[in-house]
Amino acid sequence: MAGRGEPLLKVEHLTMRFGGLVAVDNLSWQARERDITALIGPNGAGKTTVFNCITGFYKPTEGRIALRHGDPAIWDELESLTDRGKRHLTAATGSLFQLERMPDYLVTQQARVARTFQNIRLFAGMTVLENLMVAQHNSLMLASGYTLLGVLGIPSYGIAERAAIDVAREWLNRVGLIDRADDPAGDLPYGAQRRLEIARAMCTDPVLLCLDEPAAGLNPRESAELNELLLSIRDQFNLSILLIEHDMSVVMEISDHVIVLDYGVKISDGTPEEIRNDPKVIAAYLGVADEEVEKVEAEVGL
C-alpha cells in the first residue's frame, strides 16, 4: 500500500518571472501523501503564484512540477517522462503527471488537482446545488454522451444525474449547507461560501486539494470548524491537502508539514514545531522589530 510519507507532489527548481519581477525563485519542495502541507510567508512572498503554477493557471518560467497517482515506485520513471516531453505517463500500478506541461483544466480533469481561490470564486447566480453539479461536469458529460445523447433524452443520463445529486447532497450535509441547497450561492454568508467552495472542489474527486487562504475572514469558531472539516475529509478520502494560510491557529494545529517562503525563496521547511522554533522564520516572516516578534511569538504559543 502507498504509505504515508511517500511524496505525492514534487516541485523542483520552480521559477516564475513576470517581466523583470521574480515572483518565485528556484523553489524546490515536496508534499507527502495524506499530509496537510502548509505554505506560509508574508504577503507577496509568492505563495499564490506557486499555487497558480501547480494548478496550471500560470506556466512557470522554469522548473518541474510532478504529481503521482498510485504506487510510489512510479517516481523512478520521472526522468524518462521529462525526457520524452510528454504530459503524463501511465503504468499498471500508477501514473505520473508533469503539471507544468498541462493546461489548467486538464490539471483538474486528469491529474485530479482541485483548488479554491483567495477571493472566493463561486457561481454567484447559480444555486448551491448547481455549483456542485457544475463541479461534476466531466463525469456527467460522459454520461450525457457528450450532449448528443442527452438532448435525445437517454435514460442513463438521468441515472448519472441522480448519482451526482447524491454526491452533492452528501457534501452539503458535511459542510452544513443542505438547507440552503436551492438558494443562490451569492446569497450565502461569507463563511458558508468558503465551505461551499471547498465542497465544490471536492466534487471534482481530487487526490490533491489546494486551498488558498481558506480561513481568511472566518471567526475563531468558524476556523475551528474548518480545521475539523479539513482533517475529516483528509482521513476519509485519503486526500493530500496543500494550504496557503495566514491564520497561525489553523496552520499550527492541522498541518503536518510547513514550508516558509519569503521573496519567492524558501527559507524554512519542516514540521510545525521546527518552524515555530526557527529564528530565521520569526525574523523574516514577522519582520525584525522586536515587539512584533514577541507579539507573534505569543500568538503561535512560544
Partner 1 sequence: MDTTAQRQDVDVVHAVKEACLAAAITFGVLLPLIGFETVSNIDNKLVLHTRWGLLFSIVAIVGVGRLLMALVIAPRLAQRRVRPVTPAATAAATWLSVIGRWFGPFAVGFAIVYPILVVSLGGFSSALKWVDNFGIQILIYVMLGWGLNIVVGLAGLLDLGYVAFYAVGAYSYALLAKNFGFSFWILLPLAGILSSFWGILLGFPVLRLRGDYLAIVTLAFGEIIRIVLINFVDLTNGYAGIGGIPRPSFFGIPFTAGDDGFAAVFGLEFTPVYRTIFLYYLILALAFLTAFVTVRLRRLPVGRAWEALREDEIACRSLGINTTNTKLTAFAIGAMFGGFAGSFFAARQGFISPESFTFLESATVLSIVVLGGMGSQIGVAIAAALFIGGTEIMRDLDFLKQIFGPSFDPTQYRMLLFGFGMVIIMVFRPRGLISTRSPSIFLKERKTISSDLVKEGHG
Partner 2 sequence: MEVFLQQLINGITLGSIYGLIAIGYTMVFGIIGMVNFAHGDVFMVSVFIALIAFLLVTAWLGIASITVALLIVLIVAMLFTSLVNWVIERLAYRPLRGSFRLAPLISAIGMSIFLSNFVQVTQGPRNKAIQPIVRGEFILLDHNNYAVALSYKQLIIWGITAVLLAAFWYLVAKTRLGREQRACEQDQKMAALVGVNVDRTISMTFVIAAALAAVAGTMYLMYYGVVSFADGFVPGVKAFTAAVLGGIGSLPGAVIGGLLIGLIETFWSAYFTIDYKDVAAFSVLAITLIFLPQGLFGRPDVEKV
Rounded to a whole number of angstroms, the minimum distance from the CB of residue 11 to partner 1 is 19
Considering only residues 8 to 37 of the shown chain, the ones binding partner 2 according to CB under 8 A are: 18
| Candidate segments 5-13, 50-58, 184-192, 286-294, binder of partner 2 by CB under 8 A | 50-58
Q: Is 116 in the site for partner 2 (CB under 8 A)?
A: no
Rounded to a whole number of angstroms, the minimum distance from the CB of residue 119 to partner 2 is 9
Considering only residues 126 to 145 of the shown chain, the ones binding partner 1 according to CB under 8 A are: 126-127, 129-130, 133-138, 140-141, 144
| E-strand stretches of 161-275 | 208-212, 240-244, 257-262, 265-270
The burial of 285, by beta-carbon neighbours within 10 Å (0-12 exposed, 13-18 middle, 19 or more buried), is given as: buried
Q: CA-CA distance, 187 to 128, in Å (whole number)? A: 10
Ramachandran class of 19: left when φ > 0, alpha when ψ lies in -120 to 50, beta otherwise: left
The three grid cell numbers given for residue 64, joined into one nine-digit string: 518541474
- Residues present in the chain in total: 302
Q: How do 240-244 and 36-40 pair as beta strands?
A: parallel
Q: Taking CB within 5 to 8 Å according to partner kind, which of partner 2, partner 1, none is near residue 293?
A: none
Q: Is 187 in the site for partner 1 (CB under 8 A)?
A: yes
Q: Is 108 in the site for partner 2 (CB under 8 A)?
A: no
String of contacts with partner 1 for each residue 222-251, x by CB under 8 A: ------------------------------
Q: Taking CB within 5 to 8 Å according to partner kind, which of partner 2, partner 1, none is near residue 52?
A: partner 2
* Planar angle of CA 255, 256, 257, nearest 5 degrees: 95
> Contact 183/127 with Cβ under 8 angstroms?
yes
Nearest to 197 by CA among 226, 231, 237: 226
Rounded to a whole number of angstroms, the minimum distance from the CB of residue 231 to partner 1 is 23
Q: Is 190 in the site for partner 2 (CB under 8 A)?
A: no
> Contact 195/175 with Cβ under 8 angstroms?
yes
Q: CA-CA distance, 281 to 264, in Å (whole number)? A: 14
| Candidate segments 6-14, 52-60, 169-177, 187-195, binder of partner 2 by CB under 8 A | 52-60
Q: Is 150 in the site for partner 1 (CB under 8 A)?
A: yes
List of residues contacting partner 1 (CB under 8 A): 55, 57, 104-109, 114-115, 117, 121-127, 129-130, 133-138, 140-141, 144, 147, 150-151, 153, 157, 161, 165, 169, 178, 181-184, 186-187, 200-201, 204
List of residues contacting partner 2 (CB under 8 A): 18, 48, 52, 57-58, 117
